Amino acid sequence: MSSILKVDQLQDSGGNAIITSDGSGNVTQNKTGITQADLWRLSTDKSADADPLTDLERADDPSGGIIGTGMSESSGVFTFPSTGIYLIQFTLQATTASDSAGMTIHISTDSGSSYDEVARVFNGGNDSRNNNASSFALIDVTDISTFRFKSKLISIAGTTVVHGTSTTNETCITFIRLGDT
């Protein structure tokens, strides 16, 4: 025996509409899960400290993808497209000899008047090979008009080169909105 369930709207336990029907056969599924994902990369090599890190570009490969409107960037400072909990992952690729290279990420909740460092990575060693270091942070963006993001290159000295190119991900930052705040 089969059953038929007729509804105008399905809601989650918080009362948010998940699926809505207009009664004429048109069904709308509201987005759930990840609604923003964006990837930015350093487009050119750097051999000195930078605050903020500039020369960043959105990954623009033919196979690349973006979910939502993505981040907005001006002179190395990013704004968020919507409130929510964001996972920010970053990777630093550098060639070091006896020196090191560091990258930090910073969040401002007051429109960029002050920043808090929320994550950092260092790489380096006694060789001249490419080294990678990665880290991440979870950020609760509660107000898109006041929250800002920037990254810095620190402790760049000697023959150290932080790698960047516009054709592949070497030094890069990923922003993923995981859910509501």
pLDDT digits (tens, 9 = 90+) for 35-70: 999 999 999 999 999 999 999 999 988 888 899 999
E strands within 26-147? Answer: 27-29, 36-42, 56-58, 72-74, 77-79, 84-95, 100-108, 116-124, 130-141
pLDDT digits (tens, 9 = 90+) for 83-118: 999 999 999 999 887 778 999 999 999 999 999 999
Distance CA 78, CA 58 (A): 12
Mean pLDDT over all residues of the chain? Answer: 89
| Token pair for 64 | 């690349």
Question: Over 70: is that where the pLDDT of 7 sits?
Answer: yes
160 close to 100: Cβ distance less than 8 angstroms = yes
Backbone torsions φ then ψ of 179, nearest 5 degrees: 175, -175
Map out the domains of the chain with their CATH numbers: 33-179 (2.60.120.40)
Other beta carbons less than 10 A from residue 51's beta carbon: 14
Of the pLDDT bands very low, low, confident and very high (cuts 50, 70, 90), residue 10 is: confident
Pick 173 or 7 by higher pLDDT: 173
39 close to 169: Cβ distance less than 8 angstroms = yes
Give the distance, in angstroms, between the CA of residue 142 and the centroid of all CA atoms in the same chain.
16
The one-letter code for the residue type at 27 is V
Distance CA 67, CA 178 (A): 12
Place of tokens 């007051």: 110
